[in-house]
Structure 1
Amino acid sequence: MQPTREINPFLKSALEFGPVLIFFIAYLRLKDRVFTIGGTEYDGFIVVTAAFIPLLILATGALWALTGKLSRMQVATVILVVVFGGLSVWLNDDRFFKMKPTMIYALFGGLLLFGLLRGKSYLKYVMEEVMPLQDAGWMILTRRLMFCFFALAVANELIWRNFPTETWVYFKTFGLTAAVFAFFMTQGKLFQTYGLEKDQTKE
């Protein structure tokens, strides 16, 4: 197995979030344009989506090459972007790409639910090194994050189905990220109550 390597945090952030920001900026510049390719007209959103797919693959591949590791969430995101983004470009229908966040959050929420039904916290396997917690704390955090993921899946469906594409782009770029960040920021009491010192995790 390839060992995990540390890289410059700014480079890591650029590879993780750069493609999404580039998508956002490109959409704002091309949203009102129509491109004729091979006799078929594509609006700016579809063209930007077509460019976003290889960009995300390259950025994720570079991250893997530099660090030697990708999270399951990163791998799943790339797969779903390729599938749903590819369908949007192929069928010239932006609805498939807009469904992608719904699928991602529903998938992760479902995986956490499956683990909880088995009496396990799959979140612990992913984040234990970053946030050492007692087992009871992991179960509570997993349950809360599961509901958060399902809520974000529902929110994405409501936004893309009922609001203009530009509103959805803003929501996807900033709203979803801010929601997850806000979720963890509100869990301070749980981390304080169930947190473990790092030396305790090694015992």
Structure 2
Amino acid sequence: MIRLLIVDDQRLVRAGLRMLCESTDDVEVVGEGADGAEAIRLAMELSPDVILMDLRMPGLDGVEATRRILASRSDGAAPKVLVLTTFDDDEHLYPALAAGAAGFLVKDTAPADLLQAIRRSAQGELPFSPALLRRLVDRAVERGRPEGRSAPAELTPRERDVLALVGEGLGNQEIADRLHLGITTVKSHVANLMGKTGCDNRVRLALYACRLD
């Protein structure tokens, strides 16, 4: 069961998110917060697995709340913070990533995709809205920042298939379904790809994949 904390300053938004998440049998909403200060307090009190975090809120905003929550838990038990916001511009995206957000979605995300993103966050993946992932790729290419070494010759055909789907923003289960593989096999391929490419997280691996297109 995934323990979820919802943080948003709009009561109706929180109610809608709670209703959606409680319609599943693998997500438990353990609390709600209306601002960053409440997010910090509830994160300490409730120990959620995932925090669904708005960014623009009165008082302490979501970016600073994310930074403080993750900084306070250096024992490896920090929750995953999944940003859900109306604002998808660079002014919000990059500070949230720098603060340690584990994913970034806009509020017009389909309900099924949001639930899947929560599950992926809990599993240690980094879900992003496709348009945002593409923007990260374009920005990295534009700036010429290397996200890994040159394409390694030792990549197998199956690893290349998995890498391409990571670049499309698919999660492990979606890749498994697309390639007719077991989820454990996909996880193993992703781990091998990170080792071979020098990418230390899934976003960097996605950027690396897109640069090879």
The question of a shared fold, defined as TM-score above 0.5 by the shorter chain, is answered with: no
Higher relative contact order (CA 8 A, sep 6+): 1
TM-score by length of structure 1 reads 0.33
Greater Rg over alpha carbons, structure: 1
TM-score by length of structure 2 reads 0.32
In terms of fraction of residues, the more strand-rich structure is 2
